[in-house]
Structure 1
Amino acid sequence: MKNRLLSLDVLRGLTMILMTVVNNPGDWGHVYAPLLHAEWHGCTPTDLVFPTFLFIVGITTVLATPVKTLNKVALQKLITRGLRIFCLGLFLSFFSKIHFLDWEGIPLLSFRLVITLVVAYALFGNYNKTTQLYVAVAVFLIMMVLAFGGFKDFETVRIPGVLQRIAIVYLIITLIYLSTGLTVQLGIATVLLIVYWLLMTYIPVPGFGEANLEKGTNLAAWLDNRLLGGHLWVTSKTWDPEGILSTLPAIATGILGLWTGSILVSNRTIGQKFTFLFVMAVSGIAAGWLWGLSFPVNKALWTSSYVLYAAGWALLCFTLFYYIIDIRGWKRFTQPFVAFGVNPMIVFFLSGIIPRVWNVIKIQVTGTAGEMVGMKEYWYKYILSPRFSNPMNASLADALIYLLFWYVIVSILYRNRIIIKV
């Protein structure tokens, strides 16, 4: 942990903390507005969480690659890590759809957990590098066969997702970083943003007519439905916020992280780095807002204006942490954030599994004629919520308790210097 940039770990930790809170309210019907995504156009603090993580992926790629070498070994390592992250995200979609014979309740849950342990070892295990690649490919192919092979249980399993997008962006921007210079990288990002803007605002949508940015009828939604129909976000069914076309501008988000990392490892003085990054952060926010007047800031579409706006905020937060922690040396408050920041993948993966486990375990409600509810619902509805007069506070309290649960776990890992890598 000695050579890590502390301010970056703090920002990553803050991102994971916010991601854990916004993904796990006690009641989705009672959530404070800043902890919800914008309904469509617009941007809330929650909408800034995911692009900040992608932005950090770009910075980390530079800091973790002191020598730019694209050979067989580096390529194998890159593909293996990308596949492992992709498969972890994919398995989150598969978990609740796994069935065996006519098993239900605890027997079915036990079977799912055994499969989870096998998959977790396959994708987190630290064994022979070549074997890691073969295993990752095997896990990927098995899930693809289950999804597209006519198996009823998996015919609507979601293919895109947050970890899947992280994997794709990580793979592509690392290849770009290892094979090009900064000027070319920024050129690629610019082209991606402009091409995406042109596609979304000028290309007619088959079956819907003129180009538009509405739910379900825009070009990105059409492409998702055309290529992944039936395997999309369950809430929308006809489009996906981590879909195919919107991955293009997401790659630009990662490249802006590469650019930031390149500034950090440059020969500039610390003061020059801070000043330059601060100016670029404010400029990004302003440019995104201005572009948003004609191409609205929209997280679900990952619009080009959203890329600049969100990257600007991510860079501003990083720059402030960089000043406070790395320049001024104020580090006493950092431990909780760093504990989350050095183990992000295990937190994201298991925090997606645990609520699904709780929902399978049923508890009989006292005073009812055998009514059974999931343990998560029972805890919130019958134990926690009655202690609050405001349901919004109860919902937030549930998320914070879950966060505290994870803080205990990551603190133990951190104190024992255990970093679980993919």
Structure 2
Amino acid sequence: MAIEYEPIKPYADDLEDSVYTQEKHFSIDIDIIGNAEKIQDDDESKNLNQLAFRISDPNIANKGEESPFIPASNSTNLPLHRQQPPQHRLISLDVFRGLTVVLMILVDDVGGILPAINHSPWNGLTLADYVMPFFLFIVGVSLGLTYKRVSCRVTATRKAILRALKLLILGIFLQGGFFHGLNNLTYGMDIQQMRLMGILQRIAIAYLVAALCEIWLKGDDHVTSQLALLRKYQFQLLAASVLTVIYIFLLYGLYVPTWQYQIPDATSSSAPKTFSVKCGVRGDTGPACNVVGMIDRKILGIQHLYRKPVFERTKQCSINSPDYGPLPSDAPAWCQAPFEPEGLLSSVMAMVTCFVGLHYGHIIVHFKDHADRIRLWLIPSSAFLVLGLALDIFGMHINKALYTFSYMCVTAGAAGFLFAGIYLLVDIYGYQRMTLVLEWMGKHALVIYILAACNLIPVVIQGFYWKQPPNNILSLIGIGR
């Protein structure tokens, strides 16, 4: 006689989680450095341990292998059988993450040769400008699946904070300026000049905010329709709306005064040059007088900002625009100023991108029909694209450096369409062989980012040379000259 049993629905809580499309599964909790361990709900696991059953697999039965869920002393005498449900990983999410990693490496390595695919110098949208929003969108989708069932909110909160701190510290270590890069075999950084924000830092902040909202701000409603889905997560929608309003209000409402900065004088060892940038305006979204830069200068300190911003490639600042180049003779004073592309205020809208991905993850959790998922993804994606393009036409420019609301809408909509397309291709039609490499890269995205995008591999290779530092492998193949 077979016993009907509803298996446990444990949760996993991390940035790179193990994601399944079926509810009947055991999930994997993978920490940031790549270790994995199975976890399960404590209360339900106790109930599970009280059940005696064997998996009805003839191969296991014939070989006399014991079920991992039953004590060895009792497993051989139990007649109960249960078919273990298949585990289905959401391959499309790994493929999407891997595709984003490939895109990141492409624009980093080829962007200098083809400036058209490099980050837009200021307003506008290029291929490189999709990378950051795609990563944030993926983080949000993963969180929706990771925290779909939480046994202890306090424990889940503690783990989320710990993982965010790991990413934050790793980001400061990799992008704070400690590695001096190609052609400079030195390591170290004056803490007073260290860059505080960066790509991993932004992801850590958005991850933490979205994770806390997913843990604490969701109802207990049973989702049977799209309206019920919105009702269950209404406080998360409210949080995303509040963040958007705060960002827009600060961007267009705060007063930006005239400010100064200094740069070392390259022609002499005398005191650094001082430049004064005249502002005294509100609502300016240009490179010189925007609120995003002002907040970073006030809170982080101008010495802790990125020192090679994208606006150095604008026509006002480069004779080779849209590539880097010498300053024009009439270059404005702000051309050499530091600016943080992953700043504090712009990270507020990055959080909203994460919330958009979180909503798409909720659709996976609560709607099992493929057609329903695709429909519920494409509707908001279309709305985001139309709204973002309309806002750009009416003056709220698409701008990655400021992470404007229009930029968030367009990139989130594009991420939704791309994710739906990959899901259709990979998880519905089963074309997985052609995406195996992308899937592997998606599963190891953080390691690939550290080794490739942070130049660790070239720096390490360049550290081995013959007699003199210039005589290294990278110089032989034309890199780092």
Task: State the TM-score, normalized to the length of structure 1.
Answer: 0.72
1:65 aligned to which of 131, 136, 147: 147
2:295 aligned to which of 223, 230, 243: 223
**Displacement of 1:316:** 0.4
Aligned to 1:190: 241
Aligned to 1:285: 385
- Unmatched segments (≥5 aa) in structure 1: 99-103, 113-151, 365-369, 384-422
2:191 aligned to which of 154, 157, 160: 154
2:356 aligned to which of 256, 268, 286: 256
Amino acid at match of 1:333: M
Is 1:355 paired with 2:453?
no
Alpha-carbon distance between aligned partners in 1 of 2:108 and 2:305, rounded to the nearest angstrom: 19
Aligned to 1:87: 169
Q: Assess if the C-alpha contact under 8 Å between 1:325 and 1:331 holds in 2.
A: yes
**How is 1:119-138 mapped onto 2 (pairs within 5 angstroms)?**
none
Alpha-carbon distance between aligned partners in 2 of 1:72 and 1:83, rounded to the nearest angstrom: 17
Alpha-carbon distance between aligned partners in 2 of 1:11 and 1:315, rounded to the nearest angstrom: 11
**How is 1:232-311 mapped onto 2 (pairs within 5 angstroms)?**
232-236=305-309, 237-267=337-367, 269-293=369-393, 294-311=395-412
Aligned to 1:214: 286
**Displacement of 1:70:** 5.1
Label 1:154 to 1:382 Cα distance change in 2 as closer, same or farther (>3 A): closer
1:30 aligned to which of 73, 98, 113: 113
Alpha-carbon distance between aligned partners in 1 of 2:152 and 2:344, rounded to the nearest angstrom: 26
Label 1:372 to 1:82 Cα distance change in 2 as closer, same or farther (>3 A): same
Is 1:13 paired with 2:115?
no
Question: Match of 1:192, SS?
Answer: helix
Aligned to 1:312: 413
Label 1:363 to 1:191 Cα distance change in 2 as closer, same or farther (>3 A): farther
Structure number with bigger Rg: 2
Q: Assess if the C-alpha contact under 8 Å between 2:307 and 2:339 holds in 1.
A: no
**Displacement of 1:376:** 3.4
**How is 1:136-175 mapped onto 2 (pairs within 5 angstroms)?**
153-175=190-212
Deviations for 1:118-175, whole angstroms, at most 9, x for unmatched residues? xxxxxxxxxxxxxxxxxxxxxxxxxxxxxxxxxx733222110000101111111000
Across the aligned residues of Structure 1 and Structure 2, the Cα RMSD in angstroms comes to: 2.6
Count matched residues. 328
**Displacement of 1:43:** 0.6
Task: State the TM-score, normalized to the length of structure 2.
Answer: 0.63
Alpha-carbon distance between aligned partners in 2 of 1:276 and 1:343, rounded to the nearest angstrom: 29
Deviations for 1:74-102, whole angstroms, at most 9, x for unmatched residues? 1221111111111111111346458xxxx
**Displacement of 1:348:** 1.1
- Unmatched segments (≥5 aa) in structure 2: 1-17, 19-86, 219-232, 259-278, 310-336
Identity %: 30
Alpha-carbon distance between aligned partners in 2 of 1:269 and 1:372, rounded to the nearest angstrom: 59
Amino acid at match of 1:356: V
Q: Point out 4+ residue stretches in structure 1 off by more than 4 angstroms.
A: 358-364
Label 1:72 to 1:239 Cα distance change in 2 as closer, same or farther (>3 A): same
Label 1:363 to 1:158 Cα distance change in 2 as closer, same or farther (>3 A): farther
1:343 aligned to which of 415, 420, 444: 444
Label 1:320 to 1:379 Cα distance change in 2 as closer, same or farther (>3 A): same
Amino acid at match of 1:257: G
Amino acid at match of 2:195: R
**Displacement of 1:31:** 2.1
Alpha-carbon distance between aligned partners in 2 of 1:159 and 1:382, rounded to the nearest angstrom: 26
**Displacement of 1:288:** 0.9
Question: Match of 1:338, SS?
Answer: helix
Alpha-carbon distance between aligned partners in 2 of 1:309 and 1:363, rounded to the nearest angstrom: 50
Question: Match of 1:284, SS?
Answer: helix
